[in-house]
Chains A and B, each alone.
Chain A
Amino acid sequence: MKHIPSIWSLLFMLWLFSMGFSAQPIFPKPLSPRIANYTIDVRYLPELKMLNGKEVLIWHNTSKEAIGELQFHLYLNAFRNNRTTFMKESGGVHRGFKIDEKKGWGFIEIWRMVWVRQPEDVYSILSMVTEKSPGVTDLSDRMEFIQPDDGNPEDKTVLRVQLPKPLAPGDSIVLRIDFVARLPQPPFARTGAWKEYVFAGQWFPKIGVYTAKGWNCHQFHYNSEFFADFGVYDVFITVPADYVVGATGLEYDVQQTPEGQARHYFHAEDVHDFAWTASPEFVEFKDRTQDVDIRLLMQPDHVDQAERHMRAAKAAVEHFQNWYGDYPFPNLTVVDPRRGARGSGGMEYPTLITAGTAYGMPQGLRFVEAVIIHEFGHQFWYHLLASNEFEESWLDEGINSYTEAQIMHDLYGPEGDMIDFLGLKINDIQFQRSRYISFADLDPVVRPAWLYYSGTSYGVNSYSRPAVLLTTLQNYLGWNTMLKVMQTYVSRYRFTHPTSQDFIKVASEVSGQDLSWFFDQALFSTRTLDYSASYLISKKVKKPQGYDFTLFVKQTLKEAGLDTGRIATYKQIVPEDWSEDTTLYYSEARIRRKGQFRFPVDVQLVFSNGDTLRDHWDGQDPWKKYVFIRPDRLLEVQVDPEQKILLDRNWTNNSLTLRPYPRGILKQTFRFLFATQFLLDQPEWLGLTRLLLFSF
């Protein structure tokens, strides 16, 4: 038979593929749609920091349309020169790290792309196919760079390939792509090489996501991460023989090459990205918790912190599995970036995360723990629930920052769960809230990542503000309901591309109430929330004087026209007759909603006899007034006394008291005085902070 229908040839090829490469599949059944499947053979050239790669991509058109073009991410081209969109937006600085402008630029070039129309097994395609092979269509001339986001002609991070014939719905395409790439030095924006260390992230031509709206393939921006389809990855990495290699997935095999190098074979299923790292200096540690094998690749400098890393990784796995759902993958690799290469630190890839520490990091500075818990959290919010980080970054980073704070609190709380050092105690969520306070109203949370006011606004709205708003929601719904929301969200949308609306739908469904009023404000507006206690008085009601005067306390307020909808009146103790012994106080408290964000809130009022009244205000009106005529003075009014609403930017103005509390100011004043006296006397002690700064 001359012509084999493409679907059968693909099945045949997949069968060969499975026989040849993955004799032992990780999962008995696919967990994801497996739309984009890659087999890559890459050789690393350490002297040049270059990658020489061959890639076979099998991509399935699962849409309902015929597709006439393909779009690819070429992320490494963001580091090609200083005119790319990434470099222009970042000013050449990412998280404080810079590329070496003399010799550190990176790039990726596809020098051949062919459509293998009569596919054989992947081995043959990798080793033998050229543009002249039978049944092959050369697409190299049909490639062009496009700039869908900003039209910057200097940006070459998105490649479009026109197909000679549209790909029918349900059909698949097999491409052989030959590429060469150079990694930035030192590692920059999560990827690169430095000395003997290499961390390859976003390193291969990667197809975009075809959605109902067409291709979703954004340029690589300073403020954005990624979006991709799930698939199976088989990657052969050739590096010098003494290199220790870590990568996404499981290592199935390693073979020595005749040139004295080692060819490592990694296999990963149901993942949407693949990263790898290699260094002859890695020191390996292994352990296991629940059903997950954990492998640490530590720098020699940090071997004494290996236990700390492992403890955090285990705690992360356990908390996530116990709280949010099953982590289906059998392993996790934690990579400790090399000194001088921290630009590759604090990043997540499927089954592989990078941390980051410094020699001498004090135990009380729990940045190592926070970063590992955070990066592992991405295995859920970025990996299992593969949301579009270009367009809705909060679904990954924000939810993850929330869960990170919860776990840090559970592990090291209640005080100083992130920093507990030299008397300074800061919780993770306090840190998040401090960032939110400063940039609460510049952007809505949901916004394409490159359109935020600034990098800081992107950071606040993608990380801190969602953490704060979800903690507020948790306090509103209760821990158990919130946990159920998260669990349902994970179980329902794992191995899909959920959106903000999906999360809102789940939250409303599980809580049994329409929460769109909350999310509309919290995610899609720049409204801020600030309740305040604005007025408090309590004064004696004057004795009846003059002619024909009668005081009917019960009626007083109504007659004065004060008993309106906004005014709560409490008239519980009212003597019928005024006597000489009677002392009554007129007390009035006013509270305000200063921001536009409406949120129900508790109000507490405390009287001089110790009576405490609680009210629940829906926060719809701009203010509410409380008026009392009682024998006791109203001494305190406090909005949100338990500080449940973390979205409230200013808790200091939430209360008013008629009782002075000078001791607080006194203590802080004398603390300040003492510190000033001490530093005036021996300013050289400030020099000790130099050691501390080393940790950063």
Chain B
Amino acid sequence: MVGKSFRIGLKTGLGQRKLVLLYYLASLLAALPVTLAFSQAMGSFLGRSLIARDLGGHFNMDFFFEYLFFGKNGLATLPFLWLLAALVYLLGLLLLSGGLFAQFYQDRPYQAQRFWADAFHHWGRMVRLGLLSVPVLLLLLAIQFLEVGLQRLIFGKQPYEYIAYWGRVVQMVLAYAGIWIFSLIFDFARWDLVANQQNKTRYSLMAGIRFVFSQFSAAGSLYALFLLTSGLLTLVYILISGLLGANAVPAIFLLILIQQIYMWLRAGLRVGLLAGERELLRQLGSN
């Protein structure tokens, strides 16, 4: 069941090029303003300096330190733009998810007009659901602190460093588990919201929580398979990009291409996961 959902999800994810393009564009467009600001600030600091030539190779740390100090005025707006990018991206994803969930739920092909109509139709509720989910996320993130209490109870205030170190690893694993469980809950809450045209988003949230905990092995396994695929993809990217450090135009263009293909594939995996979840729901007869 999980394997089939994964296969179908992957196939759909990579096949739905327009949807993948939308998700890819969302990350690209959200990141663009802050990137342009960075590029402009760096360009204006560099001027016509020959350092620009060297930056085509490995990053020059002397330049980096000088840039941080002498170019700090140009960098001042970046944190704000970054936060803005995160907000825009988040809202963008919620917008897209309305169209995508509706399309997948109704098993129909992509039609731009229908997609955007659904996207805007569900957007408000998606945002409400998102805000309502925040306490759930915080609660799940708080689970990691159980380790702190347990550690203090068993080993006291200042345990050996290896205990503290591995304790922190456990905390991190718990934190990631919390985030991933939350992602599942949020996904299945959105499925409920779209399926039932739910206006009371708290019901959808509850439905999401109920579903994830009642079908944890299936939902969790599917999520884990996509996570693993994403991890493998990242590994391949790291291996390839490591070979493209040369200060030469072809190498630089190839690197840029590889980076954006990687982001495209990640968008594909995101769409694939949702398609896989839809398939899982179908197989479980939930919808």
Binding site for B on A (CB under 8 A): 195, 299-302, 339-340, 358-360, 415, 425-427, 430, 433-434, 437-438, 536, 636, 638, 643, 649-658, 660-674, 676-678, 680-681, 683-684, 687-688, 690-691, 694
Digit string of B240-254 for contact with A (CB within 8 Å is 1, else 0)?
A: 000000010100100
Distance from A689 Cβ to chain B, minimum over Cβ atoms (Å): 10
Contact B42–A665 (Cβ < 8 Å): yes
Contact A425–B55 (Cβ < 8 Å): no
Q: State which residues 55-69 of B face A: CB under 8 Å.
A: 55-56, 58-59, 61-63, 65-69
Contact A687–B56 (Cβ < 8 Å): no
Q: State which residues 16-45 of B face A: CB under 8 Å.
A: 27-28, 30-32, 34-35, 38-39, 42-43, 45
Nearest residue in A to B171 (C-beta to C-beta)? A690
Nearest residue in B to A440 (C-beta to C-beta)? B69
Pick the contact of B252: A340, A667, A674, A680 (CB < 8 A): A667
Nearest residue in A to B43 (C-beta to C-beta)? A665
Nearest residue in A to B175 (C-beta to C-beta)? A687
Nearest residue in B to A437 (C-beta to C-beta)? B69
Q: Which residues on the A side are within 8 Å of B179 (C-beta)?
A: 684
Q: Which residues on the A side are within 8 Å of B172 (C-beta)?
A: 687-688, 690-691
Distance from A360 Cβ to chain B, minimum over Cβ atoms (Å): 5
Q: Which residues on the B side are within 8 Å of A652 (C-beta)?
A: 45-46, 49, 51, 63, 66-67, 70
Pick the contact of B50: A636, A666, A670 (CB < 8 A): A636
* Known A434-B69, A652-B51; 5 more pairs at CB < 8 Å: A302-B161, A359-B165, A430-B65, A670-B259, A671-B59
Contact B86–A650 (Cβ < 8 Å): no
Contact A301–B38 (Cβ < 8 Å): no
Contact B49–A339 (Cβ < 8 Å): no
Distance from B178 Cβ to chain A, minimum over Cβ atoms (Å): 10
Distance from B71 Cβ to chain A, minimum over Cβ atoms (Å): 9
Query: For the complex, what is the distance from the CA of A664 to the CA of B270, rounded to whole Å?
Result: 32
Q: Which residues on the B side are within 8 Å of A690 (C-beta)?
A: 168, 171-172
Contact A427–B55 (Cβ < 8 Å): no
Say whether chain A's binding surface is mostly helix, strand, loop, or mixed. Answer: helix
Say whether chain B's binding surface is mostly helix, strand, loop, or mixed. Answer: helix
A655-B50 in contact given A667-B56, A673-B31, A674-B263 (Cβ < 8 Å): yes
Q: How many residues of B contact A (CB 8 A)?
A: 62
Pick the contact of B176: A300, A653, A684 (CB < 8 A): A684
Nearest residue in A to B50 (C-beta to C-beta)? A655
Distance from B51 Cβ to chain A, minimum over Cβ atoms (Å): 5
The answer to whether the Cβ of B48 comes within 8 Å of any Cβ in the partner chain is yes
27 A-B Cβ contacts within 8 A? A301-B162, A360-B165, A415-B58, A433-B65, A434-B69, A437-B69, A536-B48, A636-B50, A643-B62, A649-B66, A652-B51, A652-B63, A655-B49, A658-B48, A662-B52, A663-B247, A664-B55, A669-B35, A670-B256, A674-B259, A676-B31, A677-B27, A680-B27, A680-B31, A687-B176, A690-B171, A691-B169
Nearest residue in B to A636 (C-beta to C-beta)? B50
Nearest residue in A to B39 (C-beta to C-beta)? A669
Query: For the complex, what is the distance from the CA of A681 to the CA of B26, rounded to whole Å?
Result: 10
Distance from B114 Cβ to chain A, minimum over Cβ atoms (Å): 26
Q: Which residues on the A side are within 8 Å of B27 (C-beta)?
A: 677, 680-681
Contact A425–B89 (Cβ < 8 Å): no
Interface centre among A663, A677, A690 (most CB of B within 10 A): A677
Query: For the complex, what is the distance from the CA of A653 to the CA of B70, rounded to whole Å?
Result: 11
Q: Which residues on the A side are within 8 Å of B108 (C-beta)?
A: none
The answer to whether the Cβ of B160 comes within 8 Å of any Cβ in the partner chain is yes
A664-B59 in contact given A670-B259, A676-B35 (Cβ < 8 Å): no
Query: For the complex, what is the distance from the CA of A415 to the CA of B255, rounded to whole Å?
Result: 22
Digit string of B73-108 for contact with A (CB within 8 Å is 1, else 0)?
A: 000000000100110010000000000000000000
Distance from A464 Cβ to chain B, minimum over Cβ atoms (Å): 12
Contact B48–A657 (Cβ < 8 Å): yes
A665-B46 in contact given A677-B31, A677-B263 (Cβ < 8 Å): yes
Contact B63–A673 (Cβ < 8 Å): no
Pick the contact of A668: B32, B50, B55, B158 (CB < 8 A): B55
Contact B49–A678 (Cβ < 8 Å): no
Distance from A341 Cβ to chain B, minimum over Cβ atoms (Å): 10
Digit string of B175-217 for contact with A (CB within 8 Å is 1, else 0)?
A: 1100100000000000000000000000000000000000000
A681-B61 in contact given A300-B160, A688-B172 (Cβ < 8 Å): no
Query: For the complex, what is the distance from the CA of A694 to the CA of B158, rounded to whole Å?
Result: 14
Distance from A427 Cβ to chain B, minimum over Cβ atoms (Å): 7
Distance from A431 Cβ to chain B, minimum over Cβ atoms (Å): 9
The answer to whether the Cβ of B147 comes within 8 Å of any Cβ in the partner chain is no
Interface centre among B43, B56, B169, B175 (most CB of A within 10 A): B56
A657-B252 in contact given A339-B158, A652-B70, A680-B30 (Cβ < 8 Å): no
Nearest residue in A to B71 (C-beta to C-beta)? A652
Query: For the complex, what is the distance from the CA of A555 to the CA of B48, rounded to whole Å?
Result: 32
Query: For the complex, what is the distance from the CA of A434 to the CA of B252, rounded to whole Å?
Result: 28
Q: Which residues on the B side are within 8 Å of A670 (C-beta)?
A: 255-256, 259
Query: For the complex, what is the distance from the CA of A650 to the CA of B175, rounded to whole Å?
Result: 43
Contact A676–B161 (Cβ < 8 Å): no
Nearest residue in B to A301 (C-beta to C-beta)? B161
Q: State which residues 136-175 of B face A: CB under 8 Å.
A: 158, 160-162, 164-165, 168-169, 171-172, 175
Contact A650–B70 (Cβ < 8 Å): yes
Q: Which residues on the B side are within 8 Å of A671 (C-beta)?
A: 59, 259
Nearest residue in B to A656 (C-beta to C-beta)? B48
Nearest residue in B to A357 (C-beta to C-beta)? B161
Interface centre among B50, B249, B255, B266 (most CB of A within 10 A): B50
Contact A651–B263 (Cβ < 8 Å): no
Contact B160–A301 (Cβ < 8 Å): yes
Q: Which residues on the B side are within 8 Å of A300 (C-beta)?
A: 160
Q: Which residues on the B side are within 8 Å of A666 (C-beta)?
A: 56, 252, 256
Contact B161–A359 (Cβ < 8 Å): yes
Distance from B277 Cβ to chain A, minimum over Cβ atoms (Å): 18
Query: For the complex, what is the distance from the CA of A171 to the CA of B81, rounded to whole Å?
Result: 74
Query: For the complex, what is the distance from the CA of A200 to the CA of B48, rounded to whole Å?
Result: 56
Interface centre among A340, A652, A665, A684 (most CB of B within 10 A): A652
Q: Which residues on the A side are within 8 Å of B160 (C-beta)?
A: 300-301, 339, 359
Q: Which residues on the A side are within 8 Å of B62 (C-beta)?
A: 430, 433, 643, 651
Nearest residue in B to A695 (C-beta to C-beta)? B165
Q: Which residues on the B side are within 8 Å of A668 (C-beta)?
A: 39, 42, 55, 59
Nearest residue in B to A659 (C-beta to C-beta)? B53
Q: Which residues on the B side are within 8 Å of A687 (C-beta)?
A: 172, 175-176
Contact A664–B56 (Cβ < 8 Å): yes
Contact B39–A678 (Cβ < 8 Å): no
Distance from A165 Cβ to chain B, minimum over Cβ atoms (Å): 53
Interface centre among A434, A643, A651, A664 (most CB of B within 10 A): A664
Contact A339–B161 (Cβ < 8 Å): yes
Query: For the complex, what is the distance from the CA of A671 to the CA of B46, rounded to whole Å?
Result: 17
Q: Which residues on the A side are within 8 Å of B66 (C-beta)?
A: 437, 649-652
